[in-house]
């Protein structure tokens, strides 16, 4: 073996891929091939989507990653006047409606009970022009305090399936009141 110009003793021993230096031991481990890439497709149809994807280690992503807007967003609001204003029907009329949020503002001096439900309609050209002939599930009842706003969010959308071929949501205030109650809904429609 040869001595260095700096007076350090260096010993080289090659055995089982181990290098031994005068100041420590370093193991050389052969590299392992990475597993082949797997294609993953996640589609948000039909509602609700269930399942999970487990990832261990790091994952390389190619292409664009981000939040996509729904293909058919749906949003509407109605003001239900005081004095016995009837149930209002809103909706896409066709497809499956998934509501992600409902906002109710009570402009009255008293607390009011608000009902949101799937309704059966005699078809018109829209839910708004159709005649409500019955109700079904889902059916949500909430109490909204006087001069307050209540915001309901549904991380898993509140889903309304077609009833007798039509998808409409009934909105009503089931308390006698004198001032308006505003109800806004938004979500998306799947074919």
Token pair 């066709």 in the structure block, residue: 94
Does the domain made of 73-190 have the CATH classification 2.60.120?
Answer: yes
- With a CB cutoff of 8 Å and minimum separation 6, the contacts of 141 are 113, 114, 115, 116, 174
Evaluate if residue 145 carries a pLDDT over 50.
yes
Render pLDDT for 103-117 as a digit per residue (tens, 0 to 9).
Answer: 999 999 999 999 999
Output the pLDDT for position 58: 76
SS (H, E, C) 153-172: EEEEEEEECCECCEEEEEEE
**Gap between the terminal Cα atoms of the chain:** 79
Reading the block at residue 155, the tokens are: 């991380």
Render pLDDT for 29-67 as a digit per residue (tens, 0 to 9).
Answer: 555 665 665 665 555 444 444 566 677 777 776 766 666
């Amino acid at each position: 073996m040869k001595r260095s110009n700096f007076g350090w003793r260096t010993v080289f021993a090659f055995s089982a891929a181990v290098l031994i230096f005068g100041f420590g031991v370093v193991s050389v481990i052969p590299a392992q091939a990475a597993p082949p890439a797997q294609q993953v497709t996640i589609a948000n149809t039909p509602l609700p989507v269930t399942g999970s994807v487990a990832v261990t280690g790091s994952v390389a992503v190619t292409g664009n990653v981000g939040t996509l807007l729904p293909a058919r967003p749906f949003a509407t609001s109605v003001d239900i006047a005081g004095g016995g204003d009837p149930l209002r029907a809103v909706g896409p009329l066709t497809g499956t409606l998934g509501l992600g949020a409902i906002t109710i503002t009570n402009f009255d001096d008293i607390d009011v009970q608000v009902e949101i439900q799937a309704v059966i309609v005699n078809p018109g050209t829209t839910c708004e022009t159709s005649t409500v002939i019955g109700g079904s599930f889902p059916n949500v009842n909430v109490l909204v305090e006087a001069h307050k706003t209540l915001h309901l969010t549904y991380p898993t959308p509140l889903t309304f399936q077609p009833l007798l071929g039509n998808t409409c949501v009934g909105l009503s205030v089931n308390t006698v009141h004198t001032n308006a109650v505003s109800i806004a809904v938004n979500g998306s429609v799947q074919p």
